[in-house]
Chains A and B, each alone.
Chain A
């Protein structure tokens, strides 16, 4: 597979945050420990737990996609298998008196994920690129389909559930409270993030990057591309299993939905949204995606459509993701010229926001006009109530969209000018 220099995958593990120093880690730890005091509500804890688990999963996924150049379409399988295995372990602790403190559970989930990654990686990592992607899809489908057939392990349609509080108490904590679970998950998240970061710095992590960029050259240096991929595949499987175990601890139930292709698609989507070329990219992606999902699904029924548009726009126009967008501004920030960009950005933001909201309004009105039950033609949008079956709201929204698009076109040259002024060496973007 040959990729050109500006591919989001070949840029190396660039850093947005200097992770090699201790400072970012200490700050992250302090912030994470303090967060439950800022958001003490149950909903806040639920979202933060979900986020932390997604971060582990997304980082493990990016070990393949960003660092190894392997696009997997069936990665939820490893997380799901680890989670199911942990659910059974929890049930053995409860019913058969197996001695296993809850904080150690992710180790076993990880080992189970590692075991399956070892088995499947044996034949799937032979090639990277398209072939790997297709095999991962096929294997993912196979195991997802098996989850309905093999009831003894996957529990059929109702899944497997258990209770995390039956294990031996650790320091007097039985993990009945959600905040205790939060600290357990955060601990494991920090540990796994550190471990994955350190893995990317080891010789094997570096060779994984080399194989991604040019597998032939790596072979000529004496490294088997297949073995290198296999090893990083196994490592990724381990951390996926850890994420699965954390999921099992958090929600105490796993169903077929945890390993089907939709789940695999979501993890690809959010990792790419965050930026695959950066170590912190998946973290940004997981946080933004979880927030978007929570907020958007509160306000609109067609949030998945918006996510799809956002994803496709990211792939086409910002292949380095959100982190890439932030990283673009580092040179001008270092040169002290970031202030030059602020005014044009603010000027651009007004029509851009107007465009986004009016375009969304068009879709919401169309959706409401088709989906609403007969008789209820009133809809409320942005605090306004109107008849969704009339033409007037549509015409107004379309006019606003067109006008803001025109304004954006007018302002674009000044933004470009400011950009080249702020980044004199690099020229325009």
Chain B
């Protein structure tokens, strides 16, 4: 039972981290119709920038500076890259962000090399917050939970209670009308893109020490992020939250419990083939849950697409 609680907390950390990426991505998508393929690359940039800054002036300034730099970069990409490609339609836009993701990975390898960076959590948080029956829970993860929750609450407040949020919400549905009312819609787009990428940057800063800072980190998380927003429903912020937590827990629990397929098959009354190496179904017999853990999110996505194409909380199919 104690392992269960630790996994709940670990899954929560993972889920909230996913949500920090998904919320920005889904906001950008529902506003501009652009699925930013390079979103996870900005997450990676956040981690690398934070590493670089933290070697100079420490972790806490990096927590503020790195996301700001990433956000400015994101806004520049929107202003000088995406806006230019926008005239060609959505598919070239998607190809542009895909190319950007490739390029960012190459640039990161060029600047920092291929090996993992020694980016570690600040010493102020390097202690055990509490332990449940021998399973310790590091304080840094508690810190991650609070940062992610805080950002979510701030985002919710801005979107629903402030004037800027109202303009953003209006520009989501009727960009032309909002423009006619005298608001600078391209500027709003640029701002949302910048804030979205900055949030990915924050996620990178706080996830770098835990998940590792290496050139493959963008791709590793990026494809899961896409799965999450499809499962949650494109453009739905609450759907993204639910799907993020769901996938976070799914992955954590699958990695923690070593359920063997052969046990299940035997309990179903099937007999284990005598010569396993020759059987065509040998992989079915040797499967374990941690082994298939990484593909569970994709399986979930395929199932959702077949059963409910608009996603958990999505309203439209596109």
Give A contacts to B, CB under 8 Å.
1-4, 6-10, 65, 69, 71, 73, 123-124, 126-127, 129-131, 133-135, 137-139, 141-142, 145-146, 149-152, 261, 265, 268-269, 272, 302, 304-305, 308-309, 311-312, 315-316, 319, 363, 366-367, 370-371
Hey, which chain A residues are within 8 Å of B90, CB to CB?
1, 3, 129-130
- A145 lies within 8 A of B87 (CB): no
Whole-angstrom distance between the alpha carbons of A4 and B93 in the complex? 13
Whole-angstrom distance between the alpha carbons of A143 and B29 in the complex? 26
- Identify which of B88, B102, B107, B234 contacts A4 (C-beta below 8 A): B88
Whole-angstrom distance between the alpha carbons of A131 and B317 in the complex? 8
Hey, which chain A residues are within 8 Å of B33, CB to CB?
130
Stretch at the interface among B128-136, B152-160, B298-306: B298-306
- B89 lies within 8 A of A4 (CB): yes
Chain B positions 105 through 141: 1 when the CB is less than 8 Å from some CB of chain A, otherwise 0: 0110110010000000000000000000000000000
Whole-angstrom distance between the alpha carbons of A347 and B132 in the complex? 74
Hey, which chain A residues are within 8 Å of B94, CB to CB?
71, 130, 133
Closest to B291 in A: A149
Hey, which chain B residues are within 8 Å of A309, CB to CB?
103
Whole-angstrom distance between the alpha carbons of A308 and B120 in the complex? 30
- A316 lies within 8 A of B283 (CB): no
Whole-angstrom distance between the alpha carbons of A311 and B318 in the complex? 28
- B317 lies within 8 A of A126 (CB): yes
Closest to B287 in A: A149
- A131 lies within 8 A of B318 (CB): yes
- A10 lies within 8 A of B318 (CB): no
- A141 lies within 8 A of B95 (CB): no
Hey, which chain A residues are within 8 Å of B291, CB to CB?
149
Q: Which of B84, B85, B89 has most chain A Cβ within 10 Å?
A: B89
- A305 lies within 8 A of B106 (CB): yes
Hey, which chain B residues are within 8 Å of A150, CB to CB?
283
- B298 lies within 8 A of A142 (CB): yes
Whole-angstrom distance between the alpha carbons of A73 and B94 in the complex? 10
Hey, which chain A residues are within 8 Å of B98, CB to CB?
73, 265, 268
Hey, which chain A residues are within 8 Å of B100, CB to CB?
312
Hey, which chain B residues are within 8 Å of A10, CB to CB?
89
Hey, which chain A residues are within 8 Å of B91, CB to CB?
1, 3, 7, 9, 65, 69, 71, 129, 133
Give the contact-size bracket for chain B.
35 or more
Please tell me if B186 contacts chain A, counting CB pairs below 8 Å. Answer: no
Question: Are A311 and B305 also in contact (CB < 8 A) when A138-B223, A371-B113 are?
Answer: no
Please tell me if B191 contacts chain A, counting CB pairs below 8 Å. Answer: no
Whole-angstrom distance between the alpha carbons of A370 and B110 in the complex? 9
Whole-angstrom distance between the alpha carbons of A6 and B110 in the complex? 35
Whole-angstrom distance between the alpha carbons of A47 and B298 in the complex? 36
Please tell me if B68 contacts chain A, counting CB pairs below 8 Å. Answer: no
- A127 lies within 8 A of B298 (CB): no
Q: How far is the CB of B34 from chain A (nearest CB, A)?
A: 8
Please tell me if B309 contacts chain A, counting CB pairs below 8 Å. Answer: yes
Q: How far is the CB of A269 from chain B (nearest CB, A)?
A: 8
Question: Besides the contacts A4-B88, A141-B295, what 9 more A-B pairs have beta carbons closer than 8 Å?
Answer: A9-B88, A133-B35, A142-B302, A149-B292, A269-B99, A316-B84, A319-B88, A363-B110, A367-B110
Q: How far is the CB of B218 from chain A (nearest CB, A)?
A: 12
Question: Would you list which residues of chain B between 279 and 318 have a CB under 8 Å from chain A?
Answer: 280-283, 287, 291-292, 294-295, 298-299, 301-302, 305-306, 309, 317-318
- B88 lies within 8 A of A123 (CB): no
Question: Would you list which residues of chain B between 189 and 203 have a CB under 8 Å from chain A?
Answer: none
Hey, which chain A residues are within 8 Å of B317, CB to CB?
126-127, 131
Whole-angstrom distance between the alpha carbons of A308 and B99 in the complex? 7
Whole-angstrom distance between the alpha carbons of A388 and B141 in the complex? 43
Hey, which chain A residues are within 8 Å of B226, CB to CB?
134, 137-138
- B87 lies within 8 A of A71 (CB): no
- Identify which of B102, B234, B298 contacts A141 (C-beta below 8 A): B298
Hey, which chain A residues are within 8 Å of B292, CB to CB?
149
Q: How far is the CB of A65 from chain B (nearest CB, A)?
A: 8
Whole-angstrom distance between the alpha carbons of A33 and B17 in the complex? 57
Closest to B310 in A: A131
Chain B positions 60 through 104: 1 when the CB is less than 8 Å from some CB of chain A, otherwise 0: 000000000000000000000100110111111011101110110
- A152 lies within 8 A of B282 (CB): yes
Whole-angstrom distance between the alpha carbons of A312 and B102 in the complex? 9
Closest to A152 in B: B283
Hey, which chain B residues are within 8 Å of A315, CB to CB?
85, 92, 95-96, 99
Hey, which chain A residues are within 8 Å of B145, CB to CB?
none
Question: Are A141 and B223 also in contact (CB < 8 A) when A71-B94, A152-B280, A315-B96 are?
Answer: yes
| 17 sample A-B contacts, Cβ–Cβ < 8 Å, listed by A number | A4-B87, A6-B88, A123-B305, A127-B309, A129-B318, A130-B33, A130-B318, A138-B301, A139-B298, A141-B223, A145-B294, A152-B280, A272-B95, A312-B96, A316-B81, A363-B110, A370-B113
- B35 lies within 8 A of A305 (CB): no
Hey, which chain B residues are within 8 Å of A131, CB to CB?
230, 234, 317-318
Whole-angstrom distance between the alpha carbons of A115 and B201 in the complex? 42
10 tightest Cβ-Cβ pairs between the two chains A and B: A3-B89, A142-B298, A308-B103, A305-B106, A7-B89, A145-B295, A312-B99, A7-B88, A308-B106, A311-B99
- B92 lies within 8 A of A7 (CB): yes
Whole-angstrom distance between the alpha carbons of A9 and B88 in the complex? 8
Whole-angstrom distance between the alpha carbons of A241 and B146 in the complex? 50
Whole-angstrom distance between the alpha carbons of A123 and B309 in the complex? 9
- A319 lies within 8 A of B102 (CB): no
Q: How far is the CB of B133 from chain A (nearest CB, A)?
A: 33
Please tell me if B16 contacts chain A, counting CB pairs below 8 Å. Answer: no
Hey, which chain B residues are within 8 Å of A311, CB to CB?
99, 102-103
- A71 lies within 8 A of B299 (CB): no
- B318 lies within 8 A of A8 (CB): no
Whole-angstrom distance between the alpha carbons of A309 and B100 in the complex? 9
Question: Are A265 and B89 also in contact (CB < 8 A) when A133-B35, A151-B283, A152-B282 are?
Answer: no
Hey, which chain B residues are within 8 Å of A145, CB to CB?
294-295, 298
Closest to A142 in B: B298
Q: Which of B81, B92, B282, B306 has most chain A Cβ within 10 Å?
A: B92
Hey, which chain A residues are within 8 Å of B227, CB to CB?
138, 141
